[in-house]
Structure 1
Amino acid sequence: MQHANVVVATAQILARCAGAARARLAQHCERLYVDEAHHVAAPTWRAVADLFANKEVVQFTATPYREDGQHLAGRLIYTYPLHLAQENGYFARINYRSVVNLADPDLAVAEAAVSQLRGDLSDGFDHLLMARVSSIARAKQVVEIYERLAPDLHPLRLDTSFAESTRRRHRQQLLDRDTRIIVCVNMLGEGYDLPALKVAAIHDPQKSLAVTLQFIGRFTRTGGGRLGEASAFVPLQVAGVDDRLRRLYGEDADWNEVISDLTEHHVGQEKERTDFEQSFGSLPHEIALRSIHPKMSTVTYRSSTELIWDPDKIYDLFEDKLLTTQLGINNRDKVVWWVSREATPVRWGDFASFNELVHHLYVVHVDDAAGFLYVNSTNNATTHEEIAKAVGGENVDLIRGETLYRILAKVSRRVPTNVGLLDSVSRTHRFSMHVGHDVLYAWRGEGGTKMKTNIFAHGFADGRSVSFGASRKGRVWSHEEADDIHDWVRWVRQVGPAITDASISLESVMSGWRVPVSESTRF
């Protein structure tokens, strides 16, 4: 150890070492460099990183975000855009081909990919083809197609159903070019360096952005004059995929532009998130910031005078009801959050000797540039006027009434799924809630003459499915769940400007609905 300047190891190897050996290794090292750092959230990798908790840790990854929402820790200090990597010759261009064939998409993808491979070989390129499938059963089906189409290229399977010795032999046959086609199930993954993989036949597309980008990166590596541009063939299907991948799997998509846009956009989002988290000057020690997933919900206030920012008044307002003895305060972005511990009566009887202990999350954001104050809480019993006045000043007023329905203008092709009605005449049926096919009543006949107290609707915005709900009492919400507080802040900043936009007529909002109709006959 004392005679080495650099120690290279894998997380798996270190996991097999004794705890004392790992601790001694960390003691003698000044800093830790982590490649493929998106794995750091996994237990084996996290155990290694924790050994260097008090030392400098530098992480490298192409996807600094995880689909499961787990945090990689640290902050982004440098990003290298994909378009620069292509311009500087580190990544090859990749040509995407959408294959449309509903009758036999596997055959169509295989034919297109094999044709591309033969063309590349005839042009003098040393290219290999990888067919990606989602299961061993699928691999057995697909490899038979390649065996029929290209027996001279000796297609092989590579998956965990083979013994390790067989897998090793198949990999070697690929390296020796005894085969030019390999059908894989979660094999030759990240870290496997084989730049000659230049034709991707993606029979079963991945469903998430991060995994897709890692997979594509395998084919864009450069490696000398005998390698050309990469090609990818994908059946035209977008059902069930991540909304962010719809552009990628579009029929006329240019993957070089789309991938660059997607990666730079989401890396930029991650940088915003880490900057946001670093801006908290105080944080509760009882609850981790990244463990909080607030609902997309808010009540919105605005002030007749300039909004103030005084989060410390929450200490006086909640006094002994705070679970988090310290507030989470971000003065740069004007966000404060805390968790309360409140005693409430049990719902099944009247008792003075005991009660229920309920914990509520509160998040407040003051968007002083736009002039709005937002309050989110798991306690929906009130509209939290006392909190808004404590943080934003005595002159704040809750935005309520029909104006909140303007938020529904953001939803195109909107279909009402929940509608509350208030009858000002009937005392016995003053309020009613209508869901499913029953919403027809809320829009026709007697229901059309009653006041709507709240509306929830599904539809589309920016090419993806969305939902919004609004209540006359002042609440706006969505069925989405925020990944974290930063996600909620980004969502909530669209609410105030939308519900106060006088250019949006309530008449157009209330008339632009697609109301489901029950049919009793077949067409």
Structure 2
Amino acid sequence: MAAINLPNIQKLISNQDGNSIWQFYKKGQIIEQYQVISNSPFVITSNSVEYFLTSNQNEIIPEGYQYVLHTSKKPTRKNINNGSLKIKRWLKHPNFGELSPNEVTISWYNGFHFISEDESNGIKGLRPPQMGALYSILAHNQNPDDRGIIVLPTGTGKTETMLATLIANQCQKLLVTVPSDSLRTQIAEKFITLGLLKDFSIVDDRCLNPIVGIINNSFSSIENLNEFISKANVIVTTMDMLTGWTNDEKNLLVENISHFFVDEAHHSEAKTWNEFISRFDKEKVFLFTATPYRNDGKTLQGKFLYDFSLKQAQEQHYYKKINFLPIREYNKKKADERIAEKAVAKLREDIANGNNHIIMARCVNKNRAKEVFEYYKQYKDLNPILIYTGISGLLHRIESIKRKEHHIIVCVNMLGEGFDLPELKIAAIHDERQSLPITLQFIGRFTRTSYNELGEASFITNIAYPPIMQELDELYAKDADWNLILPRLNENATQKEIDLKNFLDGFRNLDNSKIPFQSIRPAMSTIVYRNNTDTWNPDNWENGIEGIETYEHQFSTHNKNTLVIILGKINKVDWGDFETVQNLEWHMIVVFWDLRPNINRVFINTSIKGLDSKRMLDSLFDGNVIKIDGMNVFRVFHNVKRLSLYNVGARKGIGRDITFQSYFGKDVQDGIKLLEQGTLI
């Protein structure tokens, strides 16, 4: 007699257009002893409870049966005894109720407890980064004035922080967006069960679990969407799904949502994401991310509420130690084989030490993945698997990976954001990641700790060909210590974003500007003046520009030491005399006042050709500025000591047509890289 795994007791409240609404009541259990008491209908009994089993979820259930289960196939004595019959979900249970979202929210009142984790005393609760983020969010909600940005490194409990915020803040109707289908499924399951919050007594058992709606498809009518929204406390979907909706559908959602959580929010400045997020009042929006910076240099819009650095995560042991195991192979065909050999050797070592680890060999595209898989498929005892979008049996392969049936996974841009598999501890990097945000997201999947005892993370890559991005050069240097370098790279990039946000927050009326300030990129040039006063009048700038009345658009703003002016002028085109065809020409002026002990200088940068910068600054500083020019400018190079190579010459290997080559000027850098790679000696 095979044991029966009863699923979690959760009710399917609605399933319209493939979009489902669920409410969780209780965890499932295993029935070891039972007896079949009827074949038609098929009924078993265990501990005086009768269970009605059916493969037809629309079957009319006779009166008297309170415990009804949906099975994977028609139940028989044979398939239930041999274990081939699987229970899919509950169709009926005494716990099921008819509750409104408002009744659920009311049950959360005073049901949240701020319990901090204390490992030394065996107390499970919220980790310090989760507690810090939660307090910051709740404080912000008392007087919200902007989008809130929460920075939590991968593995520090970002999702649990969202769950805690939902209950502690009693969010009336929460929208959660994610970037991928796999993450939608994973995070929806967390909201349905409330994760570990009840297990750790952070949330009272009397608190009802939220009614969670999962949007997988478009709705057939606006009425169906409205009904769906009205039935749920929490709605989880992908941003790609929402951005494809009609304006009426988007507006309906915006009108009904009280709070909006954007997961993996470093994507939020993408055009379609930003357009959708901007529909919501700023105070409703919370951006959760591990990396608040982007490859394209765009800045996240909002206020940084909480930032838990990667360095802090390491110091508090949320990240495992990183073992960097590089190879140096200049023959790219041999490099894949050597990386595979080293990764498998490390895996066998870890397994021998009792750590049930998994290798991820990540490649840049499908063809590369197929090439690389050839080097792993020989290790049949480790059951290697190849996975990429479009491969046959993709869902089956993903499920087998989740069941941990494979010790080697070769993939293309898969298992990244949101894929929860703590056993991923060995990364075989066959194709280098090319940016800091992507690199940190990727590495975070391997270094995160969990409540399961696992070993340290290992990264194997070829340092003969470092990434293009200069910011990652340090990672691929010989004897590089990733445990020291990664936190510093992350901290520097994050602090840069925070500093920029704080700088912009010092200006007035930025919302009135037609030009987004975070996108302004002044040219790298300036005129410098000595200043002989400690006061200025930035609002007097108009008197410093000749012909100011010819500019139809005028905007200025300043903080304590920086003035930014944006001007727009309509000009006729050069190639004709038209009133209907005109150019709108934009210009910018930036003034920075550097006032420190023993230093009083003013810097001005402008796109206006022929601007009288002396007149401009005289209007701001009452004529107390003197231009620094001539030989005095070159004093900035005083005491600068820097090694400069004007030429590089080196030998090539034996058997080459060219035995010696020289590099001059800008080509010197190319020569140095070839020396580092060993191509030149």
TM-score over 0.5 for the pair: yes
Which of 544, 548, 558 is 1:317 aligned to? Answer: 544
1:318-344 CA distances to partner (integer Å, 9 max, x unpaired)? 3214354221x2222433232353869
Q: Which residue is equivalent to 2:285?
A: 57
Is the CA contact 1:130–1:182 (under 8 Å) kept in the aligned structure 2?
yes
Alpha carbons of 1:308 and 1:238: their partners in 2 closer, same or farther (altered >3 Å)? farther
Structure 2 residue corresponding to 1:136, chosen from 366, 376, 384? 366
The equivalent of 1:371 in structure 2 is 600
Q: Which is worse superposed, 51-60 or 212-221?
A: 51-60
SS at match of 2:441: helix
Q: Which residue in the other structure is 1:193 paired with? A: 420
Partner of 1:387: 616
Amino acid at match of 2:408: I
Contact 1:206 1:241 in 2 (8 A): no
Q: Once the 2 structures are TM-superposed, how far is the Cα of residue 287 of structure 1 from its aligned partner?
A: 1.7
Q: What residue in structure 2 maps to residue 27 of structure 1?
A: 255
Q: Give the conservation status (yes or no) of the 8 Å contact 2:343–2:428.
A: yes
Give yes or no for contact 2:311–2:491 (8 Å, CA) kept in 1: no
For residue 412 of structure 1, what is the aligned residue in structure 2? 642
Q: CA deviation at 1:239?
A: 4.8
CA distance in 1, matches of 2:325, 2:529: 50
CA RMSD of aligned residues (A): 3.3
Does structure 1 residue 145 correspond to structure 2 residue 370? Answer: no
Name the CA distance, whole Å, in 1 between partners of 2:447 and 2:466: 26
Q: What is the match of residue 292 of structure 1?
A: 520
The answer for the alignment partner of 2:499 in structure 1 is 272
CA distance in 1, matches of 2:231, 2:573: 68
Deviations 1:467-502 (A, max 9, x none): xxxxxxxxxxxxxxxxxxxxxxxxxxxxxxxxxxxx
In the other structure, the counterpart of 1:362 is 589
Structure 2 counterpart SS, 1:296? coil
- Where structure 2 has 5 or more consecutive residues not aligned to the other structure, the ranges are 1-228, 647-663, 674-680
Q: Is the CA contact (8 Å cut-off) linking 2:568 and 2:584 kept in structure 1? A: no
Please tell me whether the aligned partners of residues 299 and 497 of structure 2 are also in contact (alpha carbons under 8 angstroms).
no
1:81 Cα deviation from its structure 2 partner = 1.6
Q: TM-score, normalised by structure 2?
A: 0.56
Contact 1:100-1:235 within 8 A present in 2 as well: yes
| In 1: Cα distance, 2:422 partner to 2:398 partner | 14
Find the counterpart in structure 1 of residue 441 from structure 2: 214
**Secondary structure, counterpart of 2:325 in structure 1:** strand
Q: Distance in 2 between matches of 1:343 and 1:373?
A: 31
SS at match of 1:246: helix
Q: CA–CA distance in 2 between the matches of 1:82 and 1:359?
A: 41
Q: Which residue of 1 aligns with 2:234?
A: 6
Aligned residue type for 2:536: W
Superimposed CA distance per residue, residues 181-203 of structure 1 (whole angstroms, 9 cap, x where no aligned partner):
11111111211111111100111
Q: 1:324 to 1:113 in 2, by over 3 A?
A: farther
1:150-186 C-alpha deviation (Å, 9 max, x unpaired): 23223222223514xx222222332333321111111
Given residue 538 of structure 2, which amino acid in structure 1 is its aligned partner?
P
**SS at structure 2 position matched to 1:99:** coil
Q: Is the 8 A contact 2:358 2:423 kept in 1?
A: yes
2:468 aligned residue: 241
Cα contact 2:555–2:565 (8 A) shared by 1: no
- Asked whether the equivalents of residues 299 and 383 of structure 1 are also in contact (C-alpha less than 8 Å), the reply is no
Distance 1:126 1:87 in 2: 25
> What percent of counterpart residues are identical?
34
- State the SS of the aligned residue for 2:526: strand
Query: In the TM superposition, what is the alpha-carbon distance from 1:68 to its structure 2 partner?
Result: 0.7
CA deviation map 1:69-113 (0-9, x unaligned): 223210212111223323444332222222222233222222211
Match of 1:159 among 370, 381, 388: 388
Shift of 1:383: 6.6
State whether residues 321 and 483 of structure 2, in contact with CA within 8 Å, keep that contact through their aligned partners in structure 1: yes
Q: Which has the higher contact order (CA 8 A, sep 6+)?
A: 1
TM-score between both structures, scaled by the size of structure 1: 0.71
Structure 2 counterpart of 1:402, one-letter code: M
In the alignment, the residues of structure 1 paired with residue 402 and residue 368 of structure 2 have an alpha-carbon distance, to the nearest angstrom, of: 24
Q: Work out whether 1:73 is the aligned partner of 2:293.
A: no
How much has 1:387 moved relative to structure 2? 1.7
Q: CA deviation at 1:311?
A: 1.9
Find the aligned partners of 1:285 and 1:78 in 2 and give their Cα distance: 28
Once the two structures are overlaid, the 10-residue window that deviates more, 220-229 or 269-278, is 220-229
Give 1 or 2 for the bigger CA radius of gyration.
2
The residue matched to 2:633 in structure 1 has which SS?
Answer: helix
1:332 aligns to 2:560 (yes or no): yes
Aligned ranges 1:421-460 → 2 under 5 Å = none
Aligned to 2:343: 113
Counterpart position of 1:90? 318
In the TM superposition, residue 225 of structure 1 has moved relative to its aligned partner by 3.4
